[in-house]
Structure 1
Amino acid sequence: MSSYIWKQILHEVEKSLDDTQSCINPPASNSQIYLLEQTLNCSLPGTFKEYLLTFNGQRLVNTYPYTPFLGVHYFLSSKDIIEIWTTMNTLFNREEPLEWIEENKIKSVIWSDKWIPFTDFESQQRLILDLNPGKNGISGQIFLYHSGMDYQEIVADSFEEFSLNILKRLQEKDYATTDHIIRFNDDYI
């Protein structure tokens, strides 16, 4: 179902941004998704894999390294997911839980090896597919990660819900377009 949703999302984006295809990677191959799951040592939700089979993140455009097309985040390729995930695990995976952050829906750690980054904004903010939620969280929830984790926000309870929220905003034209970027009126992402 996510494949259909993301095809619709890309169609809606293309109607607003006539050059979107120049920054969209071709779909991931099954072997790229297999490598991703093997590297992350986890099984990705089917809806997330369907999304990657629709487009495999974004590529460099013009002189600015990453130009987002939705909100301020650019979507990572499977290769970029592995790179960022590996770096974050190397730096922070063995850290103790943070005592000053009360665990709720998100673990009170700097990083978990079951957090899968799939967007990025200047290495300071990322959308995370959370496969290791806190005590009141849901496996597969999407949350906004901030550098230092002084602020956490659940964006959606699943990748499918996240995708449907984007599609709804696009279909309702609940956005403005500036500098070839769609910015949602409620700053959803």
Structure 2
Amino acid sequence: MDNILVNKLIENFRSKLDIFDSFMNNGASEKDISDLEKSVNQILPPSYVELLKTYNGEKKSLGVMAGFGFLTIEDVKVQWDFFKMAEGEREPESVYQKNKIKNELYSVKRIPFAHDGSGNLLCIDYDPNIEGKKGQILYLPCGDPEPISVIADDFDEFLTFLIDAIISEKLELTDERDQWDEEDWEKAEIYFNKTWENDWTDIADEYNSKH
């Protein structure tokens, strides 16, 4: 299942952008992933591991994680180390699904895997509230006064959401190569952009309606 989902995701990205692979890093090694799991003291979801083995994050900003940049292993460690240092220092602005998410902003039991460059993150949550699920996916707004929300039950469900967003073009590709001569394509704006609410509450509402 992990390979199938990851392969389908990559196939859909490549169908939208012929130079997709040029934006992505080479895959992480087994040791890199094992070291990450030891650092954060968690067993990572198999589909996330499979994706890291294929691409260790983005080489150039593309927004493949639903408009957010896919973090390299080193960047995951940097973000997580900050969580560890800042744990308990701040409460979130609000929590959208209070019974599913604990009222905390930074936690070592949340593993960031994507960012928007403004302090907002997507995380795997290993410490949910009473009605939440271990491994649920959170929108974690550390840079904007917005609610934390659950957007998927697990990483597999998040990848399925992402594939559907690519196919439906809710995740839109901006590709300005046609405005440049081929030798100047590196100057062209190329990125995937989400079309939903900035605070993800509409995606959280979709999630709530299915669960």
Residue 44 (structure 1) aligns with: 44
- 1:176 partnered with 2:172: yes
Q: Distance in 2 between matches of 1:58 and 1:168?
A: 21
Residue 26 and residue 33 in structure 1: after superposition, are their counterparts in 2 closer, same or farther (change >3 A)?
A: same
Q: How does 1:128-143 map to 2 (within 5 A)?
A: 128-143=123-138
* Cα contact 1:24–1:58 (8 A) shared by 2: yes
- 1:162 partnered with 2:158: yes
Amino acid at match of 2:29: S
Amino acid at match of 2:113: F
Aligned with 2:105 (options 95, 103, 110): 110
CA shift for structure 1 position 103: 4.1
* Cα contact 2:6–2:47 (8 A) shared by 1: no
What count of residue pairs does the alignment treat as equivalent?
183
Q: Distance in 2 between matches of 1:73 and 1:127?
A: 8
Residue 109 and residue 185 in structure 1: after superposition, are their counterparts in 2 closer, same or farther (change >3 A)?
A: closer
Aligned with 2:87 (options 93, 113, 126): 93
SS at match of 1:153: strand
Amino acid at match of 2:43: S
Kindly, what percent of the aligned residue pairs are identical? 27
Residue 207 (structure 2) aligns with: none
* Cα contact 2:67–2:194 (8 A) shared by 1: no
Q: Distance in 1 between matches of 2:106 and 2:171?
A: 32
Higher relative CO (Cα under 8 Å, sequence separation at least 6) belongs to 1
SS at match of 1:13: helix
Residue 147 (structure 2) aligns with: 151
SS at match of 1:104: coil
After superposition, the C-alpha distances for 1:108-144 in whole angstroms (9 at most, x for unaligned) are 0121111000000114211010011112210010010
Residue 124 (structure 1) aligns with: 119
Structure 2, unmatched stretches of 5+, are 175-188, 204-211
Structure 1, unmatched stretches of 5+, are none
Q: Distance in 2 between matches of 1:86 and 1:100?
A: 23
Residue 44 and residue 68 in structure 1: after superposition, are their counterparts in 2 closer, same or farther (change >3 A)?
A: same
Q: Normalization by structure 2: what TM-score?
A: 0.76
After superposition, the C-alpha distances for 1:38-72 in whole angstroms (9 at most, x for unaligned) are 1001211222222222221112x3xxxx3424543
7-16 vs 106-115, greater mean Cα deviation? 7-16
Residue 14 (structure 1) aligns with: 14
Residue 33 (structure 1) aligns with: 33
Residue 103 and residue 181 in structure 1: after superposition, are their counterparts in 2 closer, same or farther (change >3 A)?
A: same
Q: Which protein has the bigger helix share? A: 2
* Cα contact 2:88–2:104 (8 A) shared by 1: no
* Cα contact 2:66–2:162 (8 A) shared by 1: no
